[in-house]
A and B are shown apart, each in its own frame.
Chain A
Amino acid sequence: MASPPDLKSGATLRNAFGGVLALFIIFLIGVLAFSIRLFSVIKYESVIHEFDPYFNYRVTQFLTKNGIYEFWNWFDDRTWYPLGRVIGGTVYPGLTLTAGTMWWILNSLNIPLSVKTVCVFTAPIFSAAAAWATYLLTKEVRGTGAGLTAAILLAIVPSYMSRSVAGSYDNEAVAIFALIFTFFLYIKTLNTGSLFYATLNALSYFYMVCSWGGYTFIINLIPMHVLLCIVMGRYSSRLYIAYAPLVVFGTLLAALVPVVGFNAVMTSEHFASFLVFIIIHVVAFVSFIRGILSPKMFKVAITLVLTVGIAVCVGAIAILVALVASSPTKGWSGRSLSLLDPTYASKYIPIIASVSEHQPPTWPSYFMDINVLAFLVPAGIIACFLPLSDASSFVVLYLVTSVYFSGVMVRLMLVLAPAACIMSGIALSEAFDVLTQSVKLQLTKLLETPPNAGDTKDGSSTVQSDVVEEDNKMIDNKTEFVKERPSKKSRKKDKEIVEKTRSKSRNQKRLMILPLEASSVAILLIVVLISLYVIHCVWAAAEAYSAPSIVLTSRSQDGLHVFDDFREAYSWLRHNTEVDDKVASWWDYGYQTTAMANRTVIVDNNTWNNTHIATVGTAMSSPEKPAWEIFNSLDVKYVLVVFGGLVGYPSDDINKFLWMVRIGGGVFPHIKEPDYLRDGQYRIDAQATPTMLNSLMYKLSYYRFVETDGKGFDRVRKTEIGKKHFKLSHFEEVFTTHHWMVRIYKLKPPKNRMKEKLKKPKMTSKPLSGTRRDESAKRNPWQ
């Protein structure tokens, strides 16, 4: 062993080196998180992905062009025609404002990046930030090692990656960072009791509220944890500081966001936090009273307060229940209700159920999205209980609730991912701690006393005591040092010392030394496990989640095929139709049409008006003439359908058609789902029902399709179509893309309809369809 001064300088040097190394690793984790998400840019192009990001992109464009005040007042007349939509008041502005600010800063430095570029790279940047936030959170819970491991796991976790690849410009990309960071600040406040962090926490919560509707998760999880702490008898002033300012400031700030507004105090999602707010005050008051009264007086006071308190509580609860019961959905929004009752959506709101990401996940999707973390999580939970602190109990609670939510909706797998990463990070780092330590000790033993087999135990204990002594010395040095320089930093160091002592005590407690062979094999196995995870994540990033979904590719013998039909159609609409023309399509394509084609749509992905969507669904499910009438009453000029039958693109409108029927039928009862099914089966071949074959969607999709191959073989449904040769009387084809994936029809002008009417009796041979047409036309609500 070296002399004390040497030891001191060596230790500080080692500490400094450790700090720099940790900093460097953190930086690299950020780089990793950023660059693994660039597969989509490299494999495809720098383009906005999918559906919702297009809306966010359009909003950001508006913001950067017109400024913040115009943005708050923006009434968008390009969508939900003729209703329009108040964008400023119905959108979570966090993402948009973030990207807008980034763009503004870059442009004021004369770096001429386009809004699109900034939007494309927002998600990767915030993934790096999320990884750093995970590091901070896990470090608060269980030290630097666990923090680094958790951060690196989060940087590449497929679940989060699916929402944050470059181009996936969606709320979640920013929100997950805000979520983790809020949790970190909460834990930090809980650990330090600093009001400074409590304020930051409220601000971070505000950012989360700005970014994503998932903020309700925070405002329910933190009260749950506070309640848990109180119940476990862990109430402290730190807990109070961590919670009370958050509720007060957080709620006030949340109410500033237009889309939340008074919901922050009026909907049931927020009531839990207020209830716990009351409870924590009661508890604080009780502990205060207990402090100033003698035990006997305290007992008297308790009985007094309890009787009054119970009365007041009963009264308050009664009022609350009455308030809640008076609102139609019991004060809960549909999406929240479907979280509490997983069968709620499929029973009552087909529009929520129709979205694939609102379905419950399957087991493979767990494996796909969090991979080996699923196996490491239990180990992490166990590690969190040894010993259980406020912070680790919070992480456990977070994990448990998010596991439940992810079980209800695939989308919420995203919330589970950070929890799983933190848990696995803790588990892995604990495992490595134990294993490497035993390897180290065994090795030193081997090197120091190779021949003396009997001294092994002695040796180990001396080594151990040496280590402990070293630690003690270091602490002594530190305390001296601290006395010399009292400052903010000294406070930091104080904390470090506390940590040190804690870790020391842990070290002492964990004297279980595994055999060298076993531990090295275990290390090897863990490394293999982690490399499996890494391989899976890279594969997921490169193959599974990088496709932008507006441009499709397929590989065949003669090379790569690119299907760029969506943009072809949108570009055609943009350049070759009048600027005020209305385009009707199923709501999936609403955001893309407004963003890429810049044309007014009837419905879009913000499914706020069920009736309007049902109207479009009804039109699509109706025969030509009533459909024409519905569309004409909505001033529609073009109808856009997506058809995958020629190239085998499965998520086309024919496959979504039953949802249109269901949603349409939910509002307009003359559309009945059984009319479109033959013996409960959905089919488009010769066995299909006449209602199906006469529906507008069928006709627009398969118009002249039979002439491509002579048989009309649909490659998605793997069958020949039922009705092959037919003419359109009220619509005319104006554009079909190269692979027929998007077909655009124009409504014929009414003049032709008159002619059609005159001719009709001569031409139609089937009286049955004629009567049905009349019948449905009569019931059409838009006449």
Chain B
Amino acid sequence: MAALYTLHSLLTAFLQFRPTSAVTLEAKKLEQKTPIAAFPLRRVEAMAESLAPPVLVRIMLLLLLLIAASPSTLESSSPSPAVRILSAERRVDLTSSIVKVYLTMKVENLGASYVSDILLAFSPTEAEHLAIIKASLTEGKRKKKKYTPLDVNPTELAGIPNGAKLFSISLISPLKTGETTVIEVLYVLTHSLEPFPTEIRQSESQLVYYHDSAILLSPYHVVEQIMYIKTPTNRVESFTKVDPTNRAGTELKYGHFHEQPPFNYIPITVHFENNNPFAVVEELVREVEISHWGSVQVTEHYKLKHAGARHKGVFSRLDYQARPSIHGASSFKQLLAKLPPRVHSVYYNDEIGNISTSHLRTDYQQSELEIEPRYPLFGGWKATFVIGYSVPLEVFLFKSPDGQHYLNFSFGCPLHETLVDQLTIRVILPEGAKNPSAAIPFDSDHFLEKTYSYLDVVGRSTVVIKKKNVVPDHNVPFQVYYNFSPAFMLAEPLMLVTVIFLFFCACIAYLHMDLSLSSSKA
């Protein structure tokens, strides 16, 4: 059974990392001539011993050959061959629904020229699911370690095999010849755990696949590398065995691998149990409305979904209430939202009214809102709700030295460990605000709109920010700058006063006027 799963996973892995047909043809031609192809072949053979049905293995082998062979053919065109990675260590954290990978690389410059950019490569599937990459330079050792954040930007280079996507890390000071440096990279992948079986019953626990490469996909030669995979429980149904593979408890170890050429790739698949909440906010709209009368009002519209294996058949409340850990292991019923400190007027409702199952705890550091959707969410079930709250203005609105006001607010979703597919933030500035501009620490779409709210005449400038694939690591502050003169605050009260005044005037005038057509004197 396990073998079959593995086979399946290999196939899916192959399908995911789909080489273009042109490259495949080329690879076929080159296969005979290039001696490099022999290296992956050996590995695949070793792996094949662990797989039972030989015919299938042959096919797989062929396919894998193609994949493995194709990058090597284009080695000559890969960028900066003068850089090599002395050691790479990857730690893949699969304990939640979001995959976190910590990569530590020791990079050496062999070439004559300075190197100021280090490249990272991702397979197209990975790149698609990549939510965030952070890189930092590590200096010092052990306790005195110092982290300096580095810029990471996507780049394009000609002649990258199989549509791999590159990201370049800009070093602060260029790497001189023969120098080494240690770079730590954290990247987060979303939707990378694929539930299998795709439909489960209430009492079954959820099994997922994780696909990756046993060796680091890199444009550089890698001297030594190792990969650790951490699973949430001991239950691992199957995993691809590559020569040095170790499993101990919740940890899988691939490696050490030595002397890997650039763009080498060995697909692996891990099939394991993961009952963590697969809470995905399909769409989140956050409205931040600034009122210079003293508060910032936040309204967040959620479309929540359990993105794990679909629930099928009966949902028995009886079983669920009796033993929720067994009958409902894969479901979740509550979420934790971390709200800013000094939050007040919190509400939690949906289109049909208030949802009474929530708790709010506030302290100086932060507020925690524990919310339960109306019903526990099983795989594929959805729920929508709205969370709203107010915070005092002075905590979030500041004045920059050049006289502009700016809002400093947290990006991302306040829900704990939850990923957002499509995030829209609408910052509604007060009426009369001018020159709005947004400063967001990562790339996202933003544009301006007009919103009409209470008694507005000219409308409020609204900065709309859109971003896909948002993970908790995106919860960093962003700023919206604008000019505002306090005189505009009085516009609406004065308008009301005028209207009421005119109304009374009209009443007085009416009472003192004689509007009848004929007078009774005549």
Closest Cβ of chain B: how far from A399's Cβ, in Å? 36
Closest Cβ of chain A: how far from B201's Cβ, in Å? 12
Chain A CB within 10 A, most for which of B315, B353, B514, B516 = B353
**CB distance A487 to B317 under 8 Å?**
no
Contacts A488-B514, A562-B356; A732 near B375 (Cβ below 8 A): no
Closest Cβ of chain A: how far from B516's Cβ, in Å? 5
- Report how far A550 CA is from B355 CA in the complex, Å: 12
Residues A484-502 near B (CB distance < 8 A) = 485-490
A704 within 8 A of B: yes
Smallest CB-CB separation from A107: which chain B residue? Answer: B452
- Report how far A700 CA is from B480 CA in the complex, Å: 56
B515 within 8 A of A: yes
* Contact among B317, B349, B452 for A740, CB-based, below 8 A: B317
A217 within 8 A of B: no
**Chain B contact patch, size range:** 20 to 34
* Contact among A112, A485, A562, A576 for B454, CB-based, below 8 A: A112
- Report how far A489 CA is from B510 CA in the complex, Å: 11
Contacts of B516 in A (CB 8 A): 487-488
- Report how far A737 CA is from B521 CA in the complex, Å: 78
16 contacting pairs across A/B (C-beta < 8 A):
A110-B452, A110-B454, A112-B454, A487-B514, A488-B514, A551-B353, A564-B374, A567-B352, A567-B353, A568-B375, A575-B383, A596-B352, A704-B316, A733-B316, A735-B317, A736-B318
Contacts of A596 in B (CB 8 A): 352
Contacts of B521 in A (CB 8 A): 486
Contacts of A551 in B (CB 8 A): 353, 356
B194 within 8 A of A: no
Contacts of B354 in A (CB 8 A): 45, 47
**CB distance A112 to B316 under 8 Å?**
no
Q: How many A-B residue pairs have CB under 8 A?
A: 85
B283 within 8 A of A: no
B173 within 8 A of A: no
Residues B404-437 near A (CB distance < 8 A) = none
- Report how far A576 CA is from B384 CA in the complex, Å: 11
Closest Cβ of chain B: how far from A319's Cβ, in Å? 46
Closest Cβ of chain A: how far from B327's Cβ, in Å? 12
Chain B residues proximal to chain A, CB less than 8 Å: 313-318, 349-350, 352-357, 374-375, 380-384, 452-457, 514-516, 519-521
Smallest CB-CB separation from A592: which chain B residue? Answer: B352
A327 within 8 A of B: no
**CB distance B374 to A572 under 8 Å?**
yes
Smallest CB-CB separation from B380: which chain A residue? Answer: A576
Smallest CB-CB separation from B454: which chain A residue? Answer: A111
Contacts of A112 in B (CB 8 A): 452-454
**CB distance A570 to B318 under 8 Å?**
no
Interface of B is mostly: loop
A109 within 8 A of B: yes
Closest Cβ of chain B: how far from A65's Cβ, in Å? 14
- Report how far A379 CA is from B357 CA in the complex, Å: 53
A446 within 8 A of B: no
Residues A557-587 near B (CB distance < 8 A) = 562, 564, 567-568, 570-572, 575-576
- Report how far A740 CA is from B375 CA in the complex, Å: 12
- Report how far A562 CA is from B352 CA in the complex, Å: 16
- Give per-residue flags for A102-115: 1 if the beta carbon is below 8 A from chain B beta carbons, else 0: 00000001111000
Smallest CB-CB separation from B378: which chain A residue? Answer: A576
A708 within 8 A of B: yes
Smallest CB-CB separation from B385: which chain A residue? Answer: A571
Contacts A110-B453, A596-B352; A567 near B318 (Cβ below 8 A): no
A707 within 8 A of B: yes
Contacts A487-B514, A707-B318; A575 near B454 (Cβ below 8 A): no
**CB distance B381 to A110 under 8 Å?**
no
- Report how far A45 CA is from B350 CA in the complex, Å: 12
**CB distance B315 to A568 under 8 Å?**
no
Smallest CB-CB separation from A482: which chain B residue? Answer: B520
**CB distance B514 to A575 under 8 Å?**
no
Closest Cβ of chain A: how far from B41's Cβ, in Å? 49
* Contact among B316, B353, B514 for A736, CB-based, below 8 A: B316
- Report how far A486 CA is from B519 CA in the complex, Å: 6
**CB distance A732 to B519 under 8 Å?**
no
- Report how far A716 CA is from B158 CA in the complex, Å: 76
Q: Which 4 pairs across A and B sit closest by C-beta, in order of nearness?
A: A736-B317, A486-B520, A47-B353, A575-B382
- Report how far A584 CA is from B521 CA in the complex, Å: 74
Contacts of A110 in B (CB 8 A): 452-457
Closest Cβ of chain B: how far from A235's Cβ, in Å? 28
**Chain A contact patch, size range:** 35 or more
- Report how far A737 CA is from B350 CA in the complex, Å: 17
* Contact among B315, B349, B382, B384 for A733, CB-based, below 8 A: B315
**CB distance A111 to B352 under 8 Å?**
no
- Report how far A488 CA is from B519 CA in the complex, Å: 9
Residues A733-747 near B (CB distance < 8 A) = 733-738, 740
- Report how far A733 CA is from B327 CA in the complex, Å: 15
* Contact among A109, A575, A704 for B318, CB-based, below 8 A: A704
- Report how far A112 CA is from B374 CA in the complex, Å: 27
Smallest CB-CB separation from A489: which chain B residue? Answer: B514
- Give per-residue flags for A12-34: 1 if the beta carbon is below 8 A from chain B beta carbons, else 0: 00000000000000000000000
Smallest CB-CB separation from A563: which chain B residue? Answer: B356
* Contact among B316, B381, B515 for A575, CB-based, below 8 A: B381
Contacts of B456 in A (CB 8 A): 110
- Report how far A564 CA is from B373 CA in the complex, Å: 12
Chain A CB within 10 A, most for which of B315, B383, B514, B516 = B315
Closest Cβ of chain B: how far from A476's Cβ, in Å? 19
Contacts of B357 in A (CB 8 A): 564
- Give per-residue flags for A299-337: 1 if the beta carbon is below 8 A from chain B beta carbons, else 0: 000000000000000000000000000000000000000
- Report how far A488 CA is from B511 CA in the complex, Å: 11
Contacts A110-B452, A576-B382, A736-B315; A571 near B352 (Cβ below 8 A): yes
* Contact among A490, A562, A567, A707 for B520, CB-based, below 8 A: A490
Smallest CB-CB separation from A47: which chain B residue? Answer: B353
Closest Cβ of chain B: how far from A549's Cβ, in Å? 13
Closest Cβ of chain A: how far from B430's Cβ, in Å? 14
Give 20 A-B pairs besides A571-B383, A732-B313 with Cβ atoms closer than 8 angstroms: A45-B354, A46-B353, A47-B352, A47-B353, A109-B455, A110-B453, A110-B454, A110-B456, A110-B457, A111-B455, A486-B519, A488-B514, A488-B516, A564-B357, A567-B352, A571-B374, A576-B380, A735-B317, A738-B317, A740-B317
Contacts of A704 in B (CB 8 A): 316, 318
- Report how far A575 CA is from B354 CA in the complex, Å: 17
- Report how far A389 CA is from B381 CA in the complex, Å: 69
- Report how far A486 CA is from B522 CA in the complex, Å: 10
- Report how far A276 CA is from B190 CA in the complex, Å: 79
**CB distance B318 to A708 under 8 Å?**
yes
Closest Cβ of chain B: how far from A22's Cβ, in Å? 16
* Contact among A45, A487, A489, A572 for B353, CB-based, below 8 A: A45
- Report how far A612 CA is from B383 CA in the complex, Å: 33
Contacts of A45 in B (CB 8 A): 349, 353-354
Contacts of B519 in A (CB 8 A): 486-487
Contacts of A576 in B (CB 8 A): 380-382
Smallest CB-CB separation from A548: which chain B residue? Answer: B353
Contacts of B520 in A (CB 8 A): 486-487, 490
Smallest CB-CB separation from A490: which chain B residue? Answer: B520
**CB distance B350 to A571 under 8 Å?**
yes
* Contact among A111, A485, A568, A734 for B374, CB-based, below 8 A: A568
Contacts of B353 in A (CB 8 A): 45-47, 550-551, 567
Residues A102-152 near B (CB distance < 8 A) = 109-112
Contacts of B316 in A (CB 8 A): 704, 733, 736
Contacts of A575 in B (CB 8 A): 381-384
- Report how far A489 CA is from B383 CA in the complex, Å: 62
- Report how far A734 CA is from B375 CA in the complex, Å: 13
Closest Cβ of chain B: how far from A479's Cβ, in Å? 13
Smallest CB-CB separation from B305: which chain A residue? Answer: A575
Closest Cβ of chain A: how far from B522's Cβ, in Å? 9
Closest Cβ of chain A: how far from B502's Cβ, in Å? 15
Closest Cβ of chain B: how far from A17's Cβ, in Å? 16
